[in-house]
Structures are given as structure tokens and as C-alpha cells.
């Protein structure tokens, strides 16, 4: 049955058929949709480059001295957090092999100590 026939049946039953909002690119031909999407992607990439956000590709070429204090602090915190995440992943692997062993308990304590140190050094206490 067509959409209007379904709408009539539902209206007779006392309910309403709500239509989904249409995509702005819907109805265009496949090539025009692709071209429109490419244009939107170019705009998005330009905005990303202007704001220097994203995966950090723009900052990779910068030397440590050229970053401001915020950038240096952000990079340092990121490195410390990455090290903690890697240690947690390693500890989780150890837990799956031998849960509750002395090594996993010690590693968990070291991880908690590093997290506490990072929070204290950078004023990130909750």
C-alpha cells in the first residue's frame, strides 16, 4: 500500500504517521550528492586546519619551543595519560592470565600512584 493509504488507515485507527525528516542531500543524483559531499568535506578540512584541532597532524611539525605554555602542558598531560592507559592495558592482560597475583596487585598500586601524581601535579583533583 502507498504511504497515503497507510496514513488513512492509521488516521482511522486514531494514530498519526510521523514522517522522518529528509536528508538535505536526498533526491539529488548520485554524482551531485558525491560532489556536494566532497565540497562539505573540503569545508570541514579547512575548518579543522584553521582551528588546529583533530588528530594533531598540524602540531606534529612544531618544535617543543614553539608551543605556548598551554600547548606544552597539554602535550605533557597527554603523554602521561597515554602511559597510564598502556599500563592499564598491560595489567588487564595480566589479570586475564593470572587474576589476583602479586604482580597484578603491585602494578595496580603503581598505576593508582601515577594517576594520583598526575592529578596533583596538574591540579586535576576532583
Q: Give the tens place of pLDDT for each residue, 71-106.
A: 888 888 889 889 999 999 999 998 888 878 888 899
Q: Mapping DSSP to helix (H, G, I), strand (E, B) and coil, where does residue 119 land?
A: helix
Task: Report the alpha-carbon distance of residue 92 to residue 110 in Å, rounded.
Answer: 14
| Residue 52 backbone zone (phi > 0: left; psi -120 to 50: alpha; other: beta) | left
d(CA 91, CA 98): 10
Q: Are 115 and 109 in contact (CB under 8 A)?
A: no
Buried b (16+ CB within 10 A) or exposed e, 73-90: eeeeeeebeeebeebeee
At how many degrees (to 10) do helices 102-122 and 69-97 cross? 170
17 has a pLDDT exceeding 50: no
pTM: 0.45
The whole-number pLDDT of residue 85 equals: 92
Domain boundaries, the chain: 24-61, 64-122
CA distance 113 to 116: 5
Amino acid at each position: 500500500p502507498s504511504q497515503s493509504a497507510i496514513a488513512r488507515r492509521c488516521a482511522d485507527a486514531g494514530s498519526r504517521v510521523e514522517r522522518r525528516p529528509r536528508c538535505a542531500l536526498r533526491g539529488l543524483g548520485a554524482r551531485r550528492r558525491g560532489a556536494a559531499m566532497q565540497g562539505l568535506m573540503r569545508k570541514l578540512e579547512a575548518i579543522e586546519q584553521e582551528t588546529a584541532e583533530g588528530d594533531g597532524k598540524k602540531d606534529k611539525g612544531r618544535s617543543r619551543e614553539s608551543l605556548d605554555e598551554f600547548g606544552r602542558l597539554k602535550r605533557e598531560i597527554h603523554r602521561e595519560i597515554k602511559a597510564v592507559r598502556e599500563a592499564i592495558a598491560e595489567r588487564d592482560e595480566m589479570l586475564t592470565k593470572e587474576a589476583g597475583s602479586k604482580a597484578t596487585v603491585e602494578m595496580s598500586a603503581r598505576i593508582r600512584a601515577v594517576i594520583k601524581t598526575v592529578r596533583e601535579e596538574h591540579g586535576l583533583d576532583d
